[in-house]
Amino acid sequence: MKALVPTGDPAEPVVLADVPEPTPRADEALVRVEAFSVNRGETFKLEAPVDAERPGARPADRPGKDIAGLVVQPAADGSGPAGITRVVGHPMAGGWAEFAAVPTHALAVLPDGVSALQGAALPLAGLTALRLLRTAGPVLGRRVLLTGASGGVGHYVTELAAAAGAEVTAVTRDAERGARLTALGAAEIVHHPADARGPYDLVLESTGGAALPVALARLARRGTLIWFGQASRTPVTLDFFAFFDGPESAVIRHFHYLDADTALGDDLAALVRLTAEGRLHPEIGRVADWTDTATTLTDLRDRRIRGKAVLTLS
């Protein structure tokens, strides 16, 4: 089958190549991929050295976590969808290919009202947003500061939090992106954490570097900051005494979307249901054929795409 494999070249990070078709384990379904989305974190993974002898031959060596397609071979153990079924899936790797073996606990059925494009845009960003807000607890009536709001996670968090009754201030780089976040329910748009007025009951921080201490300073006394990313790729330095200027006794919590009590498939099904009901709107900033994946990855890495980028298999 054809699959996108890493090259180690930043200018053309992936190329189409022939690789073995995956052999599903007993608890995996074989999915014929119709569309997949890419994430900035996956562009970082592509910077790792490539094995010159077997570049991308094993699925674990190939990125690809967000897919939508058809189950063409149900799981041998009887779990998951039976027969040819439209699904959205979240494999840990190997999804940028014609076929992917996906654990049935990481699959959800796509109804007719949700397209493959919408489905492919849901998994990583949607799961992160849903589980992040679940970690934050009730947000009704709470003031929330969200940094790095321009990407797929930011759009989902904004819409879900606003619908749950939060007053969301979103940090985004430009007015165009801010207008869309306002349409999704953001109460205020700022272009730097320093412009946020505060104090906030909750800060959701995904930038790291110099931005995190600035956002932390806007937190209310005994408030909570949940750290769910480091898009700047720059370490954070905190000053113990700075907490006394406002966020005294604040809690800083690390978040990883896979550390959850619910199955991936259950949360994917919740995201699909919200989308089907018109209560969640995947923000797709680019749709292209998968032969354009290398260019799309470069544009995503350099922040030239708003929301999600979805590739379709011709």
Of the ranges 80-84, 173-177, 192-196, the best mean pLDDT one: 192-196
Q: What confidence score (pLDDT) does residue 47 get?
A: 79
26 - beta bridge partners?
Answer: none
Q: Do residues 5 and 56 lie in contact, with contact meaning Cβ atoms separated by under 8 Å?
A: yes
**Average of per-residue pLDDT across 45-70:** 77
Band (pLDDT 50/70/90 cuts) for residue 303 is confident
Residue 49 has pLDDT above 80, yes or no: no
Q: Tell whether domain 2-122+282-312 is in CATH 3.40.50.40.
A: no
| Least reliable range by pLDDT among 9-13, 85-89, 131-135, 288-292 | 9-13
pTM of the model: 0.95
Whether 309 contacts 289, CB under 8 Å: no
Q: Which fold has domain 135-254?
A: Rossmann fold (3.40.50)
Q: What is the pLDDT of residue 60?
A: 73
More confident residue, 83 or 135: 135
Q: Tell me the percentage of the chain whose pLDDT exceeds 90.
A: 84
CA angle in degrees (0–180, nearest 5) for 184-185-188: 120
Q: What is the pLDDT, as a whole number, of residue 1? A: 95
Confidence of residue 56 (pLDDT cuts 50, 70, 90): low
Average pLDDT on 215-231 reads 96
List the domain boundaries for the chain.
2-122+282-312, 135-254
Confidence of residue 46 (pLDDT cuts 50, 70, 90): confident
Q: Mean pLDDT, to the nearest integer, of 88-107?
A: 97
Decide: 117 and 35 in contact? Cβ < 8 Å.
yes
CA distances from residue 279 to 39, 161, 162, 168, 203 in whole angstroms, order as listed: 23, 12, 11, 17, 24
